Structure 1
Amino acid sequence: MTLHLSQLKSGGVIAREGEAARLVPGIGSIYDLATRAIAEDRPIRDVLPAGGEAVDLLALLERDALDVPLRHPEPARMFLTGTGLTHTGSASARDAMHTNPEGMSDSMKMFRMGIEGGKPEQGKVGVQPEWFYKGTGALAVAPGDPLTSPAFALDGGEEPEIAGFYLIDGDGRPRRVGFTLANEFSDHVLERMNYLFLAHSKLRPASFGPELLVGDLPHDIRGTSRVIRDGKAIFEAPFLSGEANMSHTVANLEHHHFKYDLFRQPGDLHVHMFGTATLSFAEGVRTEPGDVFEISAPEFGLPLRNPLAIAGDDAETVVTVDAL
């Protein structure tokens, strides 16, 4: 039976198999559980304590009691990263933003590289994808909490994705813990201005959860992405993922992230997002404070919802130089 895990903000782990959810006895966090599984070199399911009282997972979600499923105790050792142009259909929206007078945009070239070489034969390395950095665990937002756009941002838009969570073991090997729904929140207006602003546009919070799927990623994920304003959906579209809808294999995306020694430091936690083909921005939607992003897919249980907020005005950042 499929295993899902959730993390309480107050401490404690919830395990769900089928419809039954229970509070796992004696475990304070999924991080602790994953660390134990790695130390014993056993699957998480095999080190999960039995028993525990039944809980209403939906009620906990509605009370904003659930956290990002897996956090590092030191937020600076939790790295949020991702790949783009990895899904069939993802190139069209990006290409429309970046097509140049000379013809094919770099986005379309990258997408075609993935179509031609992103799914190599087993044992071989495929073409590398587009890659981006979002930040550290300080930017990981829990289900129900606001995704806050900086005051200087030009836009705050959703990107419904799947994220993989990985702990690096003592030998520097990435150990995949599971997968969650993710909202890879970005500034698409800034990105459209110039492709070289892509790195800036990604330095935003992202949300994950509410449930961590333990095991392999389903081959064909068919979910829904919505933007809700005043209780009504102003945008609703299919959200497709899984390798059936991707131009890269998950293994190829994982290889090209973890091929760097920097990302294989023992004890670090990585959250890697695999891209999307669904954007409300591409359909002309301009989000407003108070809008609620909702991402759902049956394989991941409860939906991921977050309201949009805008930070207060930012003063100029001044660097203080000490006289030495």
Structure 2
Amino acid sequence: MTLRLLQHRSDHGDRTVIAAQGDTAHVVPGFTSIRALALHAIARKISLSAAVEAAGRGDAIDIVAEFAAGRLLAPIDHEDGAHLLLTGTGLTHLGSAEGRDKMHRAAAAAEKQTDSMRMFLEGLEGGKPAPGETGQQPEWFYKGDGSQLVGPNEPLTMPAFAQDGGEEPELAGIYIIGDDGTPHRLGLALANEFSDHVTERHNYLWLAHSKLRQAALGPELLVGTPPDHIEGSSRILRNGEVIWEKPFLSGEANMSHSFANLEHHHFKYGLFRRAGDVHVHFFGTATLSFSDGIVPEEGDIFEIGAAPFTLPVRNPLKRAQAVPLVVRLL
């Protein structure tokens, strides 16, 4: 059975790591964070699964009840948020170009092919290179540092100036950099990458602005080799009623790029191989409510679920209060 790791915080603030397989889960003794467990495994040159096995079994935990009680955290964090980076790649999934192409086609009506479609087709042709070869580099974007990462059930807060706050159901790779600069993939998490699609639609060169937003992770870290095909559902609830719902596909069988190729083109930059840093890298999606004309409102709840994850990433939408901005000359 697939191993899943979770982070738990009690009502008194005490933290623990939970290991789950199937319907059973238990505390992993001796560790208060998945990051600490990962560093322990790297230092001993063993896998995360082996580190969990060696730690023994603590108390049994009902993760469904703990999720409902709001005691499960994002499955990765860092005590210094500046050392956790949120990044991602787009146009990586089969079908992902359609929505983006619709956004940009009006602005490029005179062209036979938009830049988005051209990038997608290049990825389709060269995004899954043979082992040892370098494939086509993907679109890449930066979302922020650890201060922008929210956990399950926490609000996704768009800035006061945002034109939209829309969901993006996808997988995120969770990484930590070893002392020698080697990136280690800890596993995958279910994610809501969350973007401002209205801003992006205005001009695709504003993609960078649209991505500087919070992002949410589901509570479970899927350890080991992930399945090639992952099928889930993304929906929006308003006042307890589902106003939009759609299935989505992920995993390498449904992508135009391999995980290895996306990882290569992220970690080829030396500044992303700083020892001890944590990276959350979003792998993209092909399913957006925005493409169906949905306009999320404050108070709406985004809910994204997919097997083999057993718990969803579930977050209400919130808008931040405007804060006066003053730049002073010294």
TM-score tier, shorter chain, comes to over 0.9
Whole-angstrom CA distance in 1 between matches of 2:262 and 2:20: 28
1:263-315 deviation digits (Å, cap 9, x = unpaired): 01111111100000000000000000110001110112211100000111232
Aligned mate of 1:115, from 94, 102, 124: 124
SS at match of 2:125: helix
Whole-angstrom CA distance in 1 between matches of 2:81 and 2:120: 33
Letter of the 2:136 counterpart: V
Q: Which residue in the other structure is 2:192 paired with?
A: 183
Within-5 A mapping of 1:212-231: 212-231=221-240
Contact 2:165 2:296 in 1 (8 A): yes
Whole-angstrom CA distance in 2 between matches of 1:314 and 1:188: 22
SS at match of 1:22: strand
Letter of the 1:117 counterpart: G
Could you tell which deviates more after superposition, 96-105 or 273-282?
Answer: 96-105
Tell me whether 1:101 sits opposite 2:105 in the alignment.
Answer: no
Q: Identify unmatched segments of 5+ residues in structure 1.
A: none
Tell me whether 1:318 sits opposite 2:322 in the alignment.
Answer: no
Contact 1:86 1:276 in 2 (8 A): yes
Whole-angstrom CA distance in 2 between matches of 1:320 and 1:77: 28
**TM-score, reference length from structure 1:** 0.98
1:75-100 deviation digits (Å, cap 9, x = unpaired): 10000000000000100000000011
Q: Which residue in the other structure is 1:140 paired with?
A: 149
Letter of the 2:172 counterpart: A
Q: Which residue in the other structure is 2:76 paired with?
A: 70
Contact 2:170 2:250 in 1 (8 A): yes
Taking only aligned residues, the RMSD between alpha carbons, in angstroms, comes to 0.9
Deviation at 1:320, TM superposition (A): 2.1
Tell me whether 1:58 sits opposite 2:67 in the alignment.
Answer: no
Letter of the 2:6 counterpart: S
Tell me whether 1:85 sits opposite 2:94 in the alignment.
Answer: no
Whole-angstrom CA distance in 2 between matches of 1:38 and 1:102: 53
Whole-angstrom CA distance in 2 between matches of 1:299 and 1:106: 35
SS at match of 2:231: strand
Structure 1 residue ranges, 4+ long, deviating more than 4 angstroms after superposition: none
Within-5 A mapping of 1:205-244: 205-244=214-253
Contact 2:153 2:314 in 1 (8 A): yes
Whole-angstrom CA distance in 2 between matches of 1:293 and 1:194: 26
Whole-angstrom CA distance in 2 between matches of 1:137 and 1:287: 25
Contact 1:164 1:176 in 2 (8 A): yes
1:153-178 deviation digits (Å, cap 9, x = unpaired): 00000000100111100110101111
Aligned residues: 321
Q: Which residue in the other structure is 1:37 paired with?
A: 41
Deviation at 1:122, TM superposition (A): 1.6
SS at match of 1:299: coil
Deviation at 1:217, TM superposition (A): 2.0
Whole-angstrom CA distance in 1 between matches of 2:308 and 2:140: 26
Whole-angstrom CA distance in 1 between matches of 2:221 and 2:95: 26
Aligned mate of 2:279, from 258, 270, 281: 270
Whole-angstrom CA distance in 2 between matches of 1:219 and 1:193: 35
1:182-228 deviation digits (Å, cap 9, x = unpaired): 10010000000001110000000000121000011210001001011
Q: Which residue in the other structure is 1:19 paired with?
A: 23
Q: Which residue in the other structure is 2:165 paired with?
A: 156
1:135-165 deviation digits (Å, cap 9, x = unpaired): 0000000100000010000000000010011
Letter of the 2:42 counterpart: I
Contact 1:152 1:314 in 2 (8 A): no
Whole-angstrom CA distance in 1 between matches of 2:248 and 2:312: 12
Deviation at 1:321, TM superposition (A): 2.6
SS at match of 1:278: coil
SS at match of 1:21: strand
Q: Which residue in the other structure is 2:315 paired with?
A: 306
Contact 1:8 1:65 in 2 (8 A): yes
Letter of the 2:201 counterpart: R
Letter of the 2:156 counterpart: L
Deviation at 1:239, TM superposition (A): 1.2
Deviation at 1:262, TM superposition (A): 0.7
**TM-score, reference length from structure 2:** 0.96
Q: Which residue in the other structure is 2:183 paired with?
A: 174
